[in-house]
Structure formats: C-alpha cells, structure tokens
Amino acid sequence: MNFLTTLLKIEISHFLLRLVPKSQRILRNHSLEIFNKMQ
C-alpha cells in the first residue's frame, strides 16, 4: 500500500509538472490582454 501511494504521488507530481508550464503561459497571455485593455 505504501509503495502504491508513493507511486501515485510521483505520477501526480509528474502530471502537474507537465500541466504547469501550459497554464502559466495561458495565465501570462490572459494578464497581458487585461493589461492592454486597461491602457
């Protein structure tokens, strides 16, 4: 059981690591749009 949960945590962290760059890029684009509208 312990081994399985560790494996699962590793899988989740890898999945999150793959997700983060994409979401950061989307966030940056979105904030840029908002900034442009404010000017």
pLDDT tens per residue across span 1-39? 799 999 999 999 999 888 888 888 888 998 989 889 987
For residue 23, the model assigns a pLDDT of 85
The tokens for 24 are 């950061």
- Which 8-state DSSP code applies to residue 39? -
For residue 39, the model assigns a pLDDT of 77
C-alpha distances in angstroms, 8 versus 5, 33, 34? 5, 37, 38
The maximal CA–CA distance of the chain, rounded, in angstroms, is 56
Separation of alpha carbons 37 and 39, rounded Å = 6
Separation of alpha carbons 31 and 24, rounded Å = 10
Number of domains the chain is built from: 1
pTM, 2 dp: 0.47
Among 39, 10, 35, which residue's Cα sits nearest to residue 2? 10
